[in-house]
Amino acid sequence: MFRNVAELVELATTKNMKIADVMIEQEVEVTGKTREEIIAQMERNLEVMEKAVERGLAGVSSHSGLTGGDAVLLQDYIKKGNFLTGKTVLDAVSKAVATNEVNAAMGTICATPTAGSAGVVPGTLFAVKEKLNPSTEQMVQFLFTAGAFGFVVANNASISGAAGGCQAEVGSAAGMAAAAIVEMAGGSPQQSAEAMAITLKNMLGLVCDPVAGLVEVPCVKRNAMGAANAMVAADMALAGVTSRIPCDEVIDAMYRIGQTMPTALKETAQGGLAATPTGRALEAKIFGISAKQGE
């Protein structure tokens, strides 16, 4: 039904439908499943996401010891009331961190679009839930809207850190979340596209450099910043701010940047933060090798 964001927006606008419903129709057409079956599956995904957020907020630690407990620290900080940014933004950040801490602790999460970027969509969803009080149906629609934009990225660029760097993972996740936030808040399909473009173009070039090759450092905190980026971009789009570069062109730019990005910066743990002295020392400690061997 749609191959890019322009076609997605046109379908939603001309048919006077939500982007979520366009995505559901496409899933029905592609999979041959009923609308009810597809929605039921997404409801199960929503349950997995909610449980991951709850578990992370209760406090978890990874087996490596690199990550864990930051979601709790953020919630405690919010409760003190002395934060500098907005409560909803910080809540989104903490819940994104919570989800990725669960992933690092070998817990169950829902890849959105990948495990390494799984915190952004649920983090923002369960934060705006406190603000917008959506029904379960609306929360499921949020996921379909995010999925529609993720579908476009996956088919026109990449959602793989190994192929396109972290811009393709957390960048895509943040754009997906921003678009979905806008629709849930009552924005137009075009505003959702603007939010996606604004988010993604501010994460272009983001490298994938996991310390010790683990999806922990800096991945967890990148999900935090991806969530914050998504929230701000959604507000900008809802305010009427537009991206001078159309969404599809931003996605294409991301693809081309990924193609020219050095292999050392694409999930190989050969460059970036993974290659710092501390990064190498942590790798050696975790895997029980000498620092020289880890170089």
What gap in Å lies between CA 88 and CA 94, rounded to an integer? Answer: 10
| Closest C-alpha among 180, 173, 79 to residue 129 | 180
Model confidence pLDDT, tens digit, residues 95-113: 999 999 999 999 999 999 9
pTM of the model: 0.96
Model confidence pLDDT, tens digit, residues 142-195: 999 999 999 999 999 999 999 999 999 999 999 999 999 999 999 999 999 999
Per-residue tokens: 160: 């793989």
What gap in Å lies between CA 102 and CA 114, rounded to an integer? Answer: 14
Cross-strand pairs, 61? 68
CA angle 261, 265, 267 (to 5 degrees): 120
Q: Residue 19: what pLDDT?
A: 98
Model confidence pLDDT, tens digit, residues 24-73: 999 999 999 999 999 999 999 999 999 999 999 999 999 999 999 999 99
- The DSSP-derived string for 190-229 is HHHHHHHHHHHHTSTT--B--GGG-S-TTHHHHHHHHHHH
Mean pLDDT, residues 76-81 taken together: 98
CB 78 within 8 A of CB 94: yes
Model confidence pLDDT, tens digit, residues 273-292: 999 999 999 999 999 975 45
Q: Residue 112: what pLDDT?
A: 97
N-term to C-term CA, the chain = 49
Residues in the chain: 295
CB 215 within 8 A of CB 235: no
Q: Residue 32: what pLDDT?
A: 97
| Closest C-alpha among 187, 185, 190, 200 to residue 230 | 200
Model confidence pLDDT, tens digit, residues 216-267: 999 999 999 999 999 999 999 999 999 999 999 999 999 999 999 999 999 9
User: Quick one: CA dihedral 13, 19, 20, 26, positive or negative?
Assistant: positive
Q: Residue 291: what pLDDT?
A: 47
What kind of architecture, by CATH, is found in domain 5-287? Orthogonal Bundle (1.10)
Mean pLDDT, residues 67-94 taken together: 98
Instruction: Work out the number of other CB atoms within 10 angstroms of the CB of residue 36.
Output: 9
Q: Residue 290: what pLDDT?
A: 52
Tell me the three state secondary structure of residue 117.
coil
Residue for token digits 């599956």? 41
